[in-house]
Structure 1
Amino acid sequence: MTADRWLRGPLRSPLGRRLLAAFLFVALSSVAVLTTAALVGTAQGLTSAQQNDRREAAARAAEAVATAYQQADGWAGADLNAASAIAGAAGARLVVQDDDGRMVGPGRGMGPGMGGMLTAANATMVDAPIVVGGQTVGSVRLAFTTPAATGRAVAWSWVLGAAAVALLTALAAAGYVTRRLTRPLQAITGAARRFAAGEPEARAGLAGPGELGELAAAFDTMADDMVRADQDRRRLAADVAHELRTPLAALQAGLEELRDGLREPDTERLAALHDQTLRLGRVVQDLADLSAAESAALSLHRTDTDLAEIARTVLSTHQARLDAAGLHSGTDLAVALPVYADPDRLHQAVANLLANAARYCRPGDRVTISGHRSGDLVVLEIADTGPGIPADELPHVFQRLWRGAEARSVAGSGIGLAIVRELVTAHGGTVSAAAPTGGGTTITIRLPLAGADR
């Protein structure tokens, strides 16, 4: 992959361009500062080292001249070849002057001012005194003609080469990081646009680094939830329409018969039509109860109460209905079941369970309410010996409008158990259904023991 294609992805988005520009600005600034510091430091170090070397060369040359002066007992006949060799090795020209400023070397017969003529073209000169017997008898001047920029040029080439490598590395890192940051965002943006355009299967489907990966996963989860919620809404609308269609059709047919004079408005016919209106009313009331139960967490009036006492009260209230259905009832509530809950909401939940038992059980069946404590929970069980629920339907019994395979032969809207689940969940509890081996159905409610959830 070429650099142009590699960077094309990040450069395609405004955020990618901004991130890449920011990374490059930081990289360029860092490289520029470090390069400048390296060059300045190198130049100063080379200059300082070179000056030290030149001063040492001048000092050695002055010592050699002093030795020659002592051996010749003066400037006349002094051998300056050793000093000239030291100056030549250092890349400089040697000029020796006596204490009066007259040039006495490297040649003889040079008067004052000749040294200046020899060294005027040289920008760098280093002087050192000639000391013999504790007295200064002259001076040595080294005129350096060798360019001092050789070492500096080498340093510049290395520093600039390193800066170029660092810049390319920074460019590659900036492009990689920018690509890693913008790619998940582009995927999420594209998926969001497709989802908004009516493509429910659109997902980001990308595992990005850190928080970006979590964002992509959260978007996919949100899209799944929205699709599921839309499906539930459509299914609910279809189920409600199905529940309302039968009594409305019966009402319409009966009223048309009365309007056209095909039937007399006798008591029997009016009672049948009245039953259909009651059925409509029950469906509408069940929907209202479900809506209220789903928002129960916002309207719970909690207090310390006894779930066992609530169950006994509900059973007493529904005893006539259970008797009318030909059912036997009883309780096994030997211990108190203290909970911190809304008594009215729990009364409604238990009442719905008993109403379900009266609706689905056969004459002669038995309904038993029992309870006990289990650690930090209180457990209430409503068990019956009715026809039971098929195992494949147990996971669905608490769904809205679920009535199972016997829906056509049994009256009801299929909302009662859904209301129970919402009410129990609002209290921080759970509800489950089981079909014992011996037959019947057992609904189990588990709620936090009073004090355990506070």
Structure 2
Amino acid sequence: MITDRWFYGPLRSPLGRRLLAAFLFVALSSVAVLTAAALVGTAQGLTSAQQNDRREAAARTAEAAAVAYQRADGWAGADLTAASAIAGAAGAGLVVRDGDDQMVWPGRGMGPGMNGMHAAPTVVEAPVITDGRSVGDVRLAFTTTATAGRAVAWSWVLGAAAVALLTALLAAGYVTRRLTRPLHALIGAARRFAAGEPAARARTGGPGELGELADAFDTMADEVVRAGQVRRRLAADVAHELRTPLAALQAGLEELRDGLREPGIERLAALHDQTLRLGRVVQDLADLSAAESAALSLRRTDTDLADIARTAVAAYQGLLDAAGLRADTDLTVALPVYADPDRLHQAVTNVLANAARYCRLGDRVTISGHRSGDVAVLEITDTGPGIPADELPHVFQRLWRGHRARSVAGSGIGLAVVRELVTAHSGTVSAASPPAGGTTITIQLPFARTARADR
């Protein structure tokens, strides 16, 4: 189960194999370097400790030889058995020489020395000091090494290396699986989505950036699905808007063609109204397309947003009066902006047209402006029925007409055009509607010098 989970899974994909190979290479290299360093360090430590022990043994042997020399008042008759025992306990043969470099120990028939030693010994010397002068020296010949200590060190180091390698293998398999699993889920979701499954999502909580990538893919898929729904709704709404006037035009023209009705002024005027309705729908779509590319066609100049609003209200006054609305302005403060006056005029008139379309007879529309820091603020407020809270987030979406779509004429493009035009000027537009009724559309644009700096 462990092998299947940690190794067979990642090995099923090329990326998993590459990652696992890379992790294993790093793990093996690290374990090899650490093992070699541990063995070298252990060997040097054992050698240094062994040398210190041998020097101490030589020093103790020299002290014992000095005591024997003082007791015998010379090397002749000195009993060096104690010194030989110290050397033997340290695993070394003892040779004692006098000041003339003549061998004193071992004598004939006496204790072990270097005779008969086949292996090349390691000799450690120490002077024999009595009364502050050197009377000879002792030489300890060591033929054994710290093989037992090295064997223990090797066993521990190699055991630790095996445990580290096993841990590295398990960690490599775990990390590889953690990295490849969200990628496999993302690849599968992308393939299913491309194959026509709109509900395909990665939905995997991968580590770090992989999780963010999966979330970004899911968000993108949601937006693609939403955009597809908007396109389908757009096609349906445009078809619905065009179907009625086209059907009326077709029926009227067929009647005139077949001679069922005379081409009188009233009948021709009705057909002309249907063509105007078609023209409005087509113009709305053209305005939206132009607004979406407004950033490429803006003719900016230093202008006053308050003057633009006053001009727009004056130009639209007749239609507001026809709708039974009263328009008031509070535009006494200059609002200098660096913008395209024609585009902003179009944005303001679209808001006014939207108010005229949805407000009731006798309602009031107020256009006011003020400054807020380095921002010019234009507010268009009406006393109409307002917008439901659940529809407010959608009012600037193209073709959104809300629950009153059946009772109010229009294509649902006007406010979408407003948003595109204001955004092209590095501004923002928002809508607010309190529960008591009424709607406020707020347009915010940077002042002229701020707008120039942004460019």
TM-score, structure 1 as length reference: 0.84
CA distance in structure 2 between the partners assigned to 1:121 and 1:381 by the alignment: 105
Matched, 1:209 2:207: yes
The corresponding residue for 1:369 is 366
The corresponding residue for 1:353 is 351
Q: Write the mapping of 1:289-300 to structure 2, written as runs, cut at 5 A.
A: 289-300=287-298
C-alpha contact (below 8 Å) 2:387/2:433 kept by paired residues: no
Unaligned 5+ segments in structure 1 are: none
Q: Which residue identity is paired with 1:201?
A: A
Q: Write out per-residue CA displacement over residues 102-144 of structure 1, whole angstroms, 9 at most, x where no aligned residue.
A: 866545269xxx9765223454444556677888877655443
Q: Secondary structure at the match of 2:430?
A: strand
Matched, 1:6 2:6: yes
Q: Write the mapping of 1:26-45 to structure 2, written as runs, cut at 5 A.
A: 26-45=26-45
Q: Write the mapping of 1:369-448 to structure 2, written as runs, cut at 5 A.
A: 369-373=366-370, 375-376=372-373, 377-383=375-381, 388-389=385-386, 391=388, 395=392, 396-404=394-402, 406-427=404-425, 428-432=427-431, 434=433, 437=436, 441-448=438-445
Q: Secondary structure at the match of 1:182?
A: helix
CA distance in structure 1 between the partners assigned to 2:41 and 2:51 by the alignment: 15
CA distance in structure 1 between the partners assigned to 2:57 and 2:446 by the alignment: 97
Unaligned 5+ segments in structure 2 are: none
The corresponding residue for 1:287 is 285
Aligned-pair CA distance for 1:320: 3.6
Aligned-pair CA distance for 1:236: 0.7
Aligned-pair CA distance for 1:234: 0.9
Q: Secondary structure at the match of 2:248?
A: helix
Matched, 1:242 2:240: yes
CA distance in structure 2 between the partners assigned to 1:332 and 1:141 by the alignment: 114
C-alpha contact (below 8 Å) 2:114/2:141 kept by paired residues: no
CA distance in structure 2 between the partners assigned to 1:39 and 1:390 by the alignment: 80
Which of 176, 198, 201 in structure 2 is aligned with 1:200?
198
Q: Secondary structure at the match of 2:442?
A: strand
Q: Which residue identity is paired with 1:217?
A: D
Q: Write out per-residue CA displacement over residues 408-446 of structure 1, whole angstroms, 9 at most, x where no aligned residue.
A: 554433322332333234331213253784x7x444233
CA distance in structure 2 between the partners assigned to 1:417 and 1:157 by the alignment: 80
Q: Which residue identity is paired with 1:108?
A: R
Q: Write the mapping of 1:9-88 to structure 2, written as runs, cut at 5 A.
A: 9-65=9-65, 67-68=67-68, 71-72=71-72, 77-88=77-88
The corresponding residue for 2:108 is 108
Which moves more between the two structures, 154-163 or 428-437? 428-437
Aligned-pair CA distance for 1:193: 1.8
Q: Which residue identity is paired with 1:176?
A: Y
C-alpha contact (below 8 Å) 1:122/1:143 kept by paired residues: no
Q: Which residue identity is paired with 1:8?
A: Y
Q: Secondary structure at the match of 1:7?
A: helix
CA distance in structure 2 between the partners assigned to 1:374 and 1:433 by the alignment: 19
CA distance in structure 1 between the partners assigned to 2:171 and 2:433 by the alignment: 60
CA distance in structure 2 between the partners assigned to 1:98 and 1:298 by the alignment: 108
C-alpha contact (below 8 Å) 1:367/1:385 kept by paired residues: yes
- CA separation of 1:147/1:333 partners in 2, compared to 1, >3 Å: closer, same or farther? closer
Which moves more between the two structures, 92-101 or 444-453? 92-101
Aligned-pair CA distance for 1:168: 2.5
Which of 305, 309, 312 in structure 1 is aligned with 2:310?
312
Which moves more between the two structures, 292-301 or 62-71? 62-71
CA distance in structure 2 between the partners assigned to 1:318 and 1:392 by the alignment: 28
Q: Secondary structure at the match of 1:208?
A: coil
Percent identity (aligned): 75
CA distance in structure 2 between the partners assigned to 1:101 and 1:378 by the alignment: 109
The corresponding residue for 2:300 is 302
- CA separation of 1:33/1:358 partners in 2, compared to 1, >3 Å: closer, same or farther? closer
Q: Secondary structure at the match of 1:198?
A: coil
Q: Which residue identity is paired with 1:51?
A: Q
Q: Secondary structure at the match of 2:116?
A: helix
CA distance in structure 2 between the partners assigned to 1:4 and 1:371 by the alignment: 71
C-alpha contact (below 8 Å) 2:422/2:445 kept by paired residues: no
CA distance in structure 2 between the partners assigned to 1:150 and 1:166 by the alignment: 24
- CA separation of 1:163/1:358 partners in 2, compared to 1, >3 Å: closer, same or farther? closer
C-alpha contact (below 8 Å) 2:430/2:441 kept by paired residues: yes
CA distance in structure 1 between the partners assigned to 2:390 and 2:88 by the alignment: 108
CA distance in structure 2 between the partners assigned to 1:345 and 1:302 by the alignment: 10
The corresponding residue for 2:331 is 333
CA distance in structure 1 between the partners assigned to 2:396 and 2:134 by the alignment: 115
CA distance in structure 1 between the partners assigned to 2:434 and 2:68 by the alignment: 123
C-alpha contact (below 8 Å) 1:371/1:378 kept by paired residues: no
Q: Secondary structure at the match of 1:118?
A: coil
CA distance in structure 2 between the partners assigned to 1:426 and 1:188 by the alignment: 35
Q: Secondary structure at the match of 2:196?
A: coil
Aligned-pair CA distance for 1:292: 1.2
Q: Which residue identity is paired with 1:49?
A: A
C-alpha contact (below 8 Å) 2:95/2:103 kept by paired residues: yes
Q: Secondary structure at the match of 2:206?
A: coil
CA distance in structure 2 between the partners assigned to 1:21 and 1:54 by the alignment: 49
Q: Which residue identity is paired with 1:193?
A: R
CA distance in structure 1 between the partners assigned to 2:210 and 2:369 by the alignment: 48
The corresponding residue for 2:250 is 252
RMSD over aligned CA atoms reads 3.5
- CA separation of 1:4/1:140 partners in 2, compared to 1, >3 Å: closer, same or farther? farther
Give the number of equivalent residue pairs. 447
